[in-house]
C-alpha cells in the first residue's frame, strides 16, 4: 500500500494495475505522471519527466483552479470549516456555508435567477437542470413538453441525460446513440466571436425551435464557448435570438456555464456578452477554485413555483453530498477572492498575452486557426493531434497541457504571471508543431 514517502515506481505500478483515469483505457494501458504536490501555478512531479520535475499548469485542472493551487485563503477556509463540520446531510437541515454560497450565487448571476440547487458535479447540475425543466412543464399541465433542443457541437457532461444533448457526431458519446433520450438538434452555431450573425443560421435556429416547441421543454446550450465539443467560439447574438424565440414559443432556456462561469471569457458569466439571462443556469468547475467537486443549478421563481404547483410538488432530486459545507465554504472563499481583485484586468492581461504569444503560430504549418477569448487560448490544427507527442513537447517546455482531437489549448489560472504565460504559449506552439 503506498504511504507518504512511497516508492514512485511502486505507485505507478499499482496505478497501472488498478486505477481507471478519465476517458482512459483499462488500467495498465497508459502511463500517467505522478503529481506530488501543487502550489501556485506549478505542479510538482514525483519524478522527472522529459527533463522536468515541475510543470506550469496550462489547464487550471480543467477550468477550475482559478487562483492556483494551495492558496492560503482557500486553505484557511477549508481548515476553519473542517473544524466546524465537514459534512452533514442537507435533507431537513441547513447550514451557514450553503446558505451563504446560495445567496452569493444569486447576487452575482443574472437577476431573475433566485433559487439554487447545490450538487456535486457539473454533470449532475445539468441532470438537475433538465429535470427542473421537464418537471416544470409536467407540473403546469403541459406534459408533452419533455424533449430538449440544443445545437450541435455541445458538451454537457457524462451522465445519461447530459450525454443526450452532447454533440451526437462528436465521437465521445456516439457509443450510446440509439439508447439515449432522443433530443432535437439544430446545426452548430457558425464560429467566430466577432463574426456578424449569419441570417440563414438565425432563420434555421428560429424555425427549429418553432417547429418543435410543442414537445420541447427547454433549449440548452453553452453560451459563447463550446468547450469539449471543439473549443468553438460563437457570436453572442445567437443567444439573444434563442432568448427571443424561446419566449415567443414557451420554451425554457438553459445556459450551461460550467466551463465559462466565474470570469473565464472576460465577463463574470458568458451570458453577459449577450445581456441575456436564462431560466436555468448551471455552474461548477471554478466555483470552488478547483478545490472540491461542487456545482449548482439556479432557476427563476417562475420555474420553482411551477414545479411546486405540480402533482409532485418537490424537485425530484437529492444527492447525498448536496450542499457539502466544506465545498460550500471553499466556494464562498474562492468567489470572495475573485471579486476582491481586479479579476477582469487579470483576464484581460492573459487575453492580450495569448493573442500575442499564440498569434505567432497562426501561419505555422499544420495550423488551421488560432483563437483567444478571455483566458482561453486555442490552436486548431488541420489534422488530429498525436496526443502523446504533443504532451511530451509541452512537458519539455515545462508546461502541462492536454491536447485532444485537432486542438492544442490552454485555460491557465488567472494568477499566471507574464513569464509563465509566455512559457505556456511556447509550449502550445511546440505541442502544435510536434503533435
Active site residues: 23, 155, 256, 285
**Residue of minimal Cβ distance to ligand PMP:** 122
x/- letters, 232..271, toward ligand PMP (CB under 6 A): ------------------------x-xx------------
**Angle made by CA atoms 189, 295, 267, in degrees to the nearest 5:** 50
Q: Does 57 bind ligand PMP (CB under 6 A)?
A: no
Would you say 64 or 416 has its CB closer to ligand PMP?
64
Of 127-156, which residues contact ligand PMP (CB under 6 A)? 155-156
The residue within the footprint of ligand PMP, chosen from 77, 228, 253, 395 (CB under 6 A), is 228
Q: Is 123 annotated as a binding residue?
A: yes
The C-alpha cell that represents 227 in the structure block: 468547450
Q: In this chain, which of 122, 189, 413, 429 binds ligand PMP, going by CB under 6 A?
A: 122
Integer CA distances (angstroms), 230 to 164, 220, 226, 265, 322, in order: 17, 17, 6, 16, 31
Among 25-33, 119-127, 305-313, 373-381, which window interacts with ligand PMP (CB under 6 A)? Answer: 119-127
CA-wise closest residue to 296 among 333, 266, 255: 255
Q: Distance from first CA to last CA of the chain, Å, rounded?
A: 36
User: Is 285 annotated as belonging to a binding site?
Assistant: yes
Nearer to ligand PMP by C-beta: 42 or 264?
264
- The residue among 45 and 133 lying less far from ligand PMP, judged by its C-beta, is 133
CB 277 within 8 A of CB 267: no
Q: Which is nearer to ligand PMP, 166 or 395 (CB)?
A: 166
Tell me which of 153, 223, 284, 357 binds ligand PMP, using CB under 6 A. 284
Report whether 375 contacts 421 (CB < 8 A). no
In the complex, the smallest distance separating the C-beta of residue 228 from ligand PMP, rounded to whole angstroms, is 5
- Cell 450510446, located at residue: 176
d(CA 196, CA 53): 46
Alpha helix (H) ranges present in 28-144?
Answer: 60-63, 72-84, 96-108, 122-139
Question: Which one of the spans 73-81, 120-128, 183-191, 348-356 is the region binding ligand PMP (CB under 6 A)?
Answer: 120-128
Q: How far is the CB of 225 from ligand PMP (least distance, A)?
A: 8
Nearer to ligand PMP, 259 or 331 (CB): 259
C-alpha cell read off for 42: 506549478
Nearest distance in Å: CB 121, ligand PMP: 4
SS3 for 393?
A: helix
All cell numbers assigned to 203: 432563420
- Applying CB under 6 A, the site for ligand PMP has a residue count of 14
Residue 420, C-beta contacts closer than 8 angstroms, at least 6 positions apart = 41, 56, 412
155 is in an annotated binding site: yes
Specify the residue, 139 or 265, whose C-beta has the smaller distance to ligand PMP: 265
How is 214-260 classified by DSSP, letter by letter? TTEEEEEE-SSEE-TTT-EEB-THHHHHHHHHHHHTT-EEEEE-TTT
Dist. CA 380–CA 371, nearest whole Å: 8
Q: How far is the CB of 92 from ligand PMP (least distance, A)?
A: 27
64 binds ligand PMP (CB under 6 A): no
CB of 32 to ligand PMP, least distance (A): 18
**DSSP per residue over 394-406, as a string?**
HHHTTEE---BTT
H or E, element range at 421: helix 418-434
The verdict on 227 binding ligand PMP (CB under 6 A) reads: yes
What is the closest distance, in whole angstroms, from the C-beta atom of residue 125 to ligand PMP in the complex? 8
Question: Rounded distance, CA 273 to CA 110, Å?
Answer: 12
Q: Which of 81, 102, 119, 123 binds ligand PMP (CB under 6 A)?
A: 123
Residues that bind ligand PMP in the complex, under the rule CB under 6 A: 121-123, 126, 155-157, 222, 227-228, 256, 258-259, 284
* Residue set of the binding site: 62, 122-123, 155, 256, 285, 318-320, 402
- Annotated binding-site residue numbers for pyridoxal 5'-phosphate: 122-123, 256, 319-320
Binding-site members for substrate are: 62, 155, 285, 318, 402
Amino acid at each position: 500500500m503506498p504511504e507518504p514517502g512511497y516508492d514512485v515506481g511502486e505507485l505507478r505500478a499499482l496505478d497501472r494495475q488498478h486505477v481507471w483515469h478519465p476517458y482512459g483505457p483499462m488500467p495498465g494501458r497508459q502511463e500517467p505522471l505522478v503529481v506530488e504536490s501543487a502550489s501556485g501555478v506549478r505542479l510538482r512531479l514525483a519524478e522527472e519527466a522529459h527533463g522536468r520535475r515541475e510543470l506550469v499548469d496550462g489547464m487550471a485542472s480543467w477550468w477550475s483552479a482559478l487562483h492556483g493551487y494551495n492558496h492560503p485563503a482557500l486553505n484557511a477556509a477549508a481548515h476553519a470549516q473542517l473544524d466546524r463540520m465537514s459534512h452533514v446531510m442537507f435533507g431537513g437541515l441547513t447550514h451557514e456555508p450553503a446558505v451563504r454560497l446560495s445567496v452569493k450565487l444569486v447576487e452575482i448571476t443574472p437577476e431573475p435567477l433566485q433559487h439554487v440547487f447545490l450538487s456535486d458535479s457539473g454533470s449532475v447540475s445539468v441532470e438537475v437542470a433538465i429535470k427542473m425543466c421537464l418537471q416544470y412543464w409536467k407540473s403546469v399541465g403541459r406534459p408533452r413538453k419533455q424533449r430538449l433542443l440544443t445545437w450541435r457541437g455541445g458538451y454537457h457532461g457524462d451522465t445519461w441525460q447530459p450525454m443526450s444533448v452532447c454533440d451526437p457526431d462528436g465521437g465521445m458519446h456516439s457509443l450510446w446513440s440509439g439508447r439515449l433520450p432522443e433530443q432535437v438538434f439544430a446545426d452548430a452555431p457558425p464560429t467566430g466571436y466577432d463574426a456578424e450573425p449569419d441570417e440563414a443560421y438565425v432563420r434555421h435556429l428560429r424555425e427549429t425551435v418553432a417547429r418543435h416547441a410543442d414537445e420541447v421543454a427547454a433549449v440548452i446550450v453553452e453560451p459563447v464557448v463550446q468547450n469539449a465539443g471543439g473549443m468553438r467560439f460563437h457570436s453572442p447574438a445567437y443567444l439573444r435570438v434563442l432568448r427571443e424565440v424561446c419566449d415567443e414559443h414557451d420554451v425554457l432556456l438553459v445556459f450551461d456555464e460550467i466551463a465559462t462561469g466565474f470570469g473565464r471569457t472576460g465577463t463574470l458569466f458568458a451570458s453577459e456578452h449577450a445581456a441575456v439571462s436564462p431560466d436555468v443556469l448551471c455552474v461548477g468547475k471554478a466555483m470552488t477554485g478547483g478545490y472540491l467537486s461542487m456545482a449548482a443549478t439556479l432557476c427563476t421563481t417562475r420555474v420553482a413555483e411551477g414545479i411546486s404547483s405540480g402533482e409532485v410538488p418537490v424537485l425530484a432530486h437529492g444527492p447525498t453530498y448536496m450542499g457539502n459545507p466544506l465545498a460550500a465554504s471553499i466556494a464562498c472563499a474562492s468567489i470572495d477572492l475573485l471579486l476582491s481583485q481586479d479579476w477582469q484586468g487579470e483576464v484581460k492581461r492573459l487575453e492580450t498575452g495569448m493573442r500575442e504569444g499564440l498569434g505567432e503560430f497562426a501561419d505555422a504549418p499544420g495550423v488551421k486557426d488560432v483563437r483567444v477569448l478571455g483566458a482561453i487560448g486555442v490552436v486548431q490544427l488541420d489534422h488530429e493531434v498525436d496526443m502523446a507527442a504533443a504532451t511530451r513537447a509541452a512537458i519539455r517546455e515545462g508546461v502541462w497541457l492536454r491536447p485532444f482531437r485537432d486542438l492544442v489549448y490552454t485555460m491557465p489560472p488567472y494568477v499566471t504571471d507574464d513569464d509563465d504565460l509566455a512559457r505556456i504559449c511556447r509550449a502550445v506552439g511546440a505541442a502544435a508543431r510536434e503533435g
